[in-house]
Structure formats: C-alpha cells, structure tokens
Chain A
Amino acid sequence: MSVKLNTRQVGDVTVVDVAGRITLGEGSSALRDTLRDLVGKGQKKILLNLGDVTYIDSSGIGELVSGFTTVTNSGGQLKLLGLNKRVKDLLQITKLYTVFDVHEEEAAAIRSF
C-alpha cells in the first residue's frame, strides 16, 4: 500500500497519522475516504500528521484542499502537523501554506484548536 493511515484520539482532537506516498490512486483516495468518514462521524477537530509522508503529488495536494474545505464547511477545523521540507515547499509554491494552520509540534497543535 502506498499510504498508511492511523487515526487516534487526543482529547477531543482526532489525529490522523499519515505515512508514505499521497499520490493519485490508492494514496489520495485513502486520505479522502478517511477525512470524509471522520466528518460523517461528526469530528470537528482534525489534525493531519504528515511527518512520515515521503511524497505528495498534485492529486495529494488536491485532497488536502478538498479535506480542508469539507471539514471547514461542516463547521470543523483541519490543521497540519510535521511537514517535511518537500511538502512544505510544495505548499509554499502553490500558495497554500498560508491557507492551512501548520504546526511543527503535536502538543502545540492540539492546544491550538
């Protein structure tokens, strides 16, 4: 599998640990399905931990945007944690870095909700 997703709860914040490649196909659809599932269950505070994401393509970026929109439209918040240089550079190039609330440290990210 190109991507591995693990969901855990820290208080009222749902942390989704994402590892591997978020690319067109299995990777991007797995992320999409997970976020939609969480929104469907009424989760309002979602933290995507991208610390172990090794690769993301434009489809993966599209899923981050889609997830952000879906969560926001449902009255929730989606934040990002642990971007490596590659992902950070991509979000900056595409001018999305300032759209997301990005954190480097989990405890601070949790407190920010």
Chain B
Amino acid sequence: MRENKNRGSEIVERFLDSTLESVDSAEELALGVAERAGFDEDDLMKIGMAVRESMVNAVVHGNRYSAHKKVRFSVTHHDTRFTVRIADEGEGFDFDHLPDPLAAENLMRTSGRGIFLIRSFMDEFQMRHLEPTGTEVTLVKYTVSK
C-alpha cells in the first residue's frame, strides 16, 4: 500500500483482492483523489463508473474471483492528468477485436458494454498485455479541457 500527497499531486496504490468488495474500494479511492483534484459532479460520476467497469473486468474476467490473484490498482493526480491503472493476473484476451455493442446484432446482448462505457467517459484509455500474464488498463481524465 502506498500513498503520497504533495502539493498539486497525489498517488494512491493498492493490491486488492479479486472480490466485488474491491470494486467498491477502488471506486471510493479513485473518487477521493478525483474530488481533491477538483472534478465536478458530472466528471466524478464518469470516473467512478469507468473505474468500476475496469475493476469488474479485472476481478470477474481477468482474475475470475481467484483468492490467489490480486488486482494492482493505482490512482495518480499530477498536474492536469488524473490517471488510474488497473492490472489483473489473468490469462489475457484479444482486446483488439471486441464486438461493437452499438452494432445492431449486438444491441440486445446482456453484456459487452463495459469497455465501451470506459472509453466514453475517459479522455484516454489504453490496454496492454502484461508479461508473463495479465492485462493492464490505463484510464486518464484531464482536470482541464484540452
């Protein structure tokens, strides 16, 4: 666990269990930093939702609720960038070929909207495979419009 708060910047890092409770914890941690960074209510809602969706992906799809796998979670606010990084220890997946949830044939699917919502709510979103295993997502929101 690591926390560091200097004037104008803040870092929070945690290793979280692969549980739904961790999703709540991550959301709470992220929103705390986001609030102190000065985001308004609308942006706080978007950040909270993006973090939750990312954590659910890590806990449910990546680590599959395994008690032996952790989620590495960090929130950083520095200058005009608010950054969340979430990494799981799962087997990874092909995130370059995800079905489009807005396509007519997918509209009535009961799942598959999480990453789309994350991209909609954040200013930057990246995914990368980790070695030897796992996936890391990076979510960025600017504290001032660019």
Mostly, the A contact residues are helix
Q: Give bound CA distance, A75 to B114, whole Å.
A: 30
Tell me whether A59 is interfacial, beta carbon within 8 Å. yes
Interface size class on chain B is: 20 to 34
Chain B residue nearest to A56 (CB atoms) is B49
Give the chain B neighbours of A65 by CB distance below 8 A. 108-110
- A93:B117 contact, CB within 8 angstroms: yes
Tell me whether B72 is interfacial, beta carbon within 8 Å. no
Given A23-B52, A94-B101, A69 and B116 contact (CB-CB distance below 8 Å): no
Give the chain A neighbours of B116 by CB distance below 8 A. 94
Query: Residues of B with Cβ closer than 8 Å to A?
Result: 20, 23, 45, 49, 52-53, 56, 60, 101-102, 107-111, 113-114, 116-117, 120
Q: List 7 interface pairs A-B (beta carbons < 8 Å), by A numbering.
A: A58-B56, A58-B114, A65-B108, A68-B108, A90-B117, A93-B120, A99-B107
Query: Residues of A with Cβ closer than 8 Å to B?
Result: 23-25, 57-59, 61-63, 65-66, 68-69, 86, 90, 93-96, 99
